[in-house]
């Protein structure tokens, strides 16, 4: 992993989360990694096998299934906006909690051969957001006093 790979996550307003991450690769490559199923299956599943359907155009839909030892998890969405190598707006829905849909806006900028990816997740309603919290999407997230410390330090 590159040394500058700082992953930052912060709430914004009352319905958004903003995530930023720098990748040590040119923007075209990072873009391809995010939109080409052949690339996606190499990383999205975190090492688990993936089944990927992707219709990478405005109005197109995608569906990712991660086959993990604990079972399959499926995610799906629709592409709402697409500017190649720059920006994609798409919905994101975990099939384990259908109907709770976030809208993710991902923007890529390149500087000095490195690509900054900024993703803003906007929840459509309080119910959706609550559903996501209640889902316990990552069970380990409960005892996050450490994260609390880090968060307090940033306040």
Partner 1 sequence: MVTVDQLSTVFAALADPTRRAILARLAEGDATVNQLAEPFPISLQAVSKHLKVLEQAGLITRGRDAQWRPCRLAPAPLRDVTEWVETYRRFWEARYDRLDDYLQELQQTPKEK
Chain residues binding partner 1 by CB under 8 A are: 1-2, 5, 7, 9-11, 13-15, 17, 19, 21, 23-25, 29-30, 32-33, 39, 42-47, 117, 119, 121, 126-127, 129-130, 132-134, 136-138, 140-142, 144-145, 147-148, 151-152, 155
CB of 78 to partner 1, least distance (A): 19
Structural tokens at position 141: 């997230």
DSSP structural state of residue 126: H
Nearer to partner 1, 58 or 118 (CB): 118
**Strands (E) located in 24-100:** 50-54, 61-68, 71-83, 87-94
CB of 96 to partner 1, least distance (A): 12
Length in residues, the chain = 155
Structural tokens at position 46: 């975190």
Nearer to partner 1, 18 or 58 (CB): 18
Which has the closest alpha carbon to 132: 119, 123, 141, 144?
A: 123
């Amino acid at each position: 992993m590159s040394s500058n790979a700082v992953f930052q996550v912060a709430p914004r307003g009352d319905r958004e989360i903003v995530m930023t991450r720098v990748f040590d690769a040119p923007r075209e490559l990072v873009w391809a990694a995010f939109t080409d199923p052949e690339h996606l299956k190499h990383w999205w599943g975190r090492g688990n096998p993936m089944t990927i359907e992707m219709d990478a155009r405005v109005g197109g839909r995608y569906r990712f299934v991660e086959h993990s030892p604990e079972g399959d998890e499926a995610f799906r969405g629709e592409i709402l906006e697409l500017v190649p190598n720059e920006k994609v707006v798409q919905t994101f829905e975990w099939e384990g909690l259908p109907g709770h849909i976030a809208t993710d806006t991902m923007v890529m900028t390149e500087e000095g051969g490195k690509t900054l990816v900024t993703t803003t997740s906007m929840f459509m309603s309080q119910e959706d957001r609550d559903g996501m919290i209640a889902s316990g999407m990552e069970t380990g997230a409960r005892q996050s006093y450490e994260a609390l410390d880090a968060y307090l330090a940033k306040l």
